[in-house]
Structure 1
Amino acid sequence: MKPIKKAVFPVAGMGTRFLPATKVMPKELFPVVDRPLLQYAVDEALEAGIEQMIFVNGRGKGMIEDHFDMAFELQRNMGDRGKDQSILDGTRLKPGNAVFVRQQEPLGLGHAIWCARDIIGDEPFAIFLPDEFMVGEPGCMKQMVDAYESLGGNVVCALEIPMEDTSSYGVIDPGKQEGPITEVKGLVEKPAAGTAPSNLILPGRYILQPEVMRILETQEAGAGGEIQLTDAMAQMIGQQPFHGMTFDGKRYDCGSKQGYVEANLALALAHPEIGEDIRKIAGDLLAGS
């Protein structure tokens, strides 16, 4: 069983829900307190032992590449002033470990993942949707890698949500359950209201075998007229081991304005330097509302 050393980050989306903020700045670089949303996902990958980060980007996303590059003037100025440069360590990946691929057309998540096929080769790999901000100890992907090392095959993150909300997500058709591990008998992308096979959704973390790329090669458009990753994964069920792992932690949907604000507030309250001040500020605001 090959270890998970590569991860794909689909970051080509236009972020229209956050316009006009995303007119110039990619939503993946929006800060949650003091670090970009994408940086949290990369740190989660590094914690899990992943080495190579593959960013599938699009036009106007050059800032992402700059973020993971060397910032010579900034580092020189910080050094000259005696400031600690270690705060930038997570943004400087080893040479060759930050790879950028262009998705030229917005044809769906499955197509975005397929764009990284030549870099993935014949290795299993992880997928991170940075909008899905996962907070836990250890991180979500570390929990998944630990499960993968016991189970093999394919492992997807699973999350319980209210049944009435399942029509917006990929949903697991569950089999045998043992602790946090659920056998995946099937997957349904954005089921119509009242038809979901469970309330276990896919919240944006995956470990997949490379065979999914060959399925995506000829995958037809699915829900929303896009090439859906969920449809390709569904074809692998029964051919390879396939499990869901319920994440032990907190998930924030930073693809929505409410979820993004919630994530900032939650992490600010837990921040060792500003937490007490933020708690007082929030209390004063609520008292005056």
Structure 2
Amino acid sequence: MVSIRKAVFPVAGLGTRFLPATKAVPKEMLPVVDRPLIQYAVDEALEAGIDTLIFVTGRGKGAIEDHFDVAFELERTQADRGKSVAALEGTRLTPGNALFVRQQEPRGLGHAIWCAREVIGNDPFAIILPDELLIGRTKGCMAQMVDQYEKVGGNLVCALGVPMEETPSYGVIDPGARDGVLTEVKGLVEKPAAGTAPSNLMLPGRYILQPEVMSLLATQEAGAGGEVQLTDSMAKLIGSQPFHGVTFDGERFDCGSKLGFAQANFALASRDKDMGPALKAWANDLLTN
């Protein structure tokens, strides 16, 4: 079985829900405490043993590439002043393992993944959506998924239980047999109408897919929202290749929404050993006064 060594990060979106903050700053560069969202996603991939990171970008996204470059002037200045550059560890990706591909038209997630086809080649690969911040209890989400991939192979999606009334907002799994954290995927439904969802297992933006999905995406017609939906092409793999959901052990923050982004900042900051106690005391005063 071929190991998962490549990951695609679709980062070409306009981030309109965060305007005006994202007028000149990519939404993936918005910080949760002291790291941008894209850094959390990259760290998750590296923890899972992935070493080829493919960023599908668009116009105005140069800050992402700059973030993962060597900041010579900054590092030299810090060194000359006797200050540590430890905070920059993990931000220096080499050209060999950080590749940037352009999505020239906003045609949806499926099209963004298809734009990485030449780099993916014939290898299985992971997909990580950076605005879905997933914090694992013992290890990251993608590391959990790679562990299961090594057992069953095929295609895997992250699965997360949500209240049934929320399912119309997500892609949802039609489940088959369950074995621990693994659930057989019999079908995928994109944003089912209220009361029609086959389960409460939604897809929170983590995937491991076989390269055959690329040929399906090449001819995939526009679906929900007038965009090329990744879910539609994944659904066509079901039955011809193994397909499972992996129940995620951890927390999810939807940082594509303002509320989720604020919740992520507060949750992670409140756990910080330096600022956490003071932040929680301040929040308690705010709520009681």
TM-score (norm 1): 0.98
Q: Deviation digits for residues 196-248 of structure 1, max 9, x if unmatched?
A: 11110100000000000010010001111110000000000011100000000
Rounded Cα–Cα distance in structure 1 between residues aligned with 2:285 and 2:108: 44
Match of 1:45 in 2: 45
For residue 89 of structure 1, report the CA deviation from its aligned partner: 1.5
For residue 94 of structure 1, report the CA deviation from its aligned partner: 2.6
Rounded Cα–Cα distance in structure 2 between residues aligned with 1:43 and 1:83: 24
Please state whether the residue corresponding to 1:13 is helix, strand or coil.
coil
For residue 122 of structure 1, report the CA deviation from its aligned partner: 0.3
Aligned residue runs from structure 1 range 155-194, under 5 A: 155-194=156-195
Match of 2:87 in 1: 87
Please state whether the residue corresponding to 1:55 is helix, strand or coil.
strand
- Identity across the alignment (%): 71
Please state whether the residue corresponding to 2:249 is helix, strand or coil.
coil
Please state whether the residue corresponding to 2:42 is helix, strand or coil.
helix
For residue 85 of structure 1, report the CA deviation from its aligned partner: 1.4
For residue 178 of structure 1, report the CA deviation from its aligned partner: 1.3
Rounded Cα–Cα distance in structure 2 between residues aligned with 1:83 and 1:134: 32
Match of 2:209 in 1: 208
For residue 96 of structure 1, report the CA deviation from its aligned partner: 1.5
Match of 2:23 in 1: 23
Q: Which amino acid aligns with 1:284?
A: D
RMSD of aligned alpha carbons:
0.7
Question: Is 1:271 aligned to residue 269 of structure 2?
Answer: no
Match of 2:4 in 1: 4
For residue 42 of structure 1, report the CA deviation from its aligned partner: 0.3
Q: Deviation digits for residues 106-164 of structure 1, max 9, x if unmatched?
A: 10100000000000000000000001000012000000000000010011100000111
Q: Which amino acid aligns with 2:36?
A: P
Q: Which amino acid aligns with 1:52?
A: T
Q: Which amino acid aligns with 1:106?
A: P
For residue 86 of structure 1, report the CA deviation from its aligned partner: 2.2
Match of 2:35 in 1: 35
Match of 2:56 in 1: 56
Match of 2:103 in 1: 103
Q: Which amino acid aligns with 1:216?
A: L
Question: Is 1:112 aligned to residue 112 of structure 2?
Answer: yes
Q: Deviation digits for residues 229-278 of structure 1, max 9, x if unmatched?
A: 00000000011100000000000000110000000000011011111111
Rounded Cα–Cα distance in structure 2 between residues aligned with 1:121 and 1:273: 45
Please state whether the residue corresponding to 2:256 is helix, strand or coil.
coil
For residue 283 of structure 1, report the CA deviation from its aligned partner: 1.2
For residue 95 of structure 1, report the CA deviation from its aligned partner: 3.0
- Structure 1 residue ranges, 4+ long, deviating more than 4 angstroms after superposition: none
Rounded Cα–Cα distance in structure 1 between residues aligned with 2:267 and 2:147: 27
Rounded Cα–Cα distance in structure 2 between residues aligned with 1:47 and 1:174: 29
Match of 1:132 in 2: 132
Rounded Cα–Cα distance in structure 1 between residues aligned with 2:84 and 2:157: 38
Gaps of 5+ in 2: none
Q: Which amino acid aligns with 1:143?
A: Q
Q: Which amino acid aligns with 2:248?
A: F
Q: Deviation digits for residues 16-69 of structure 1, max 9, x if unmatched?
A: 101011000111011100100110010000000000110001111111111011
Q: How many residues align?
A: 288
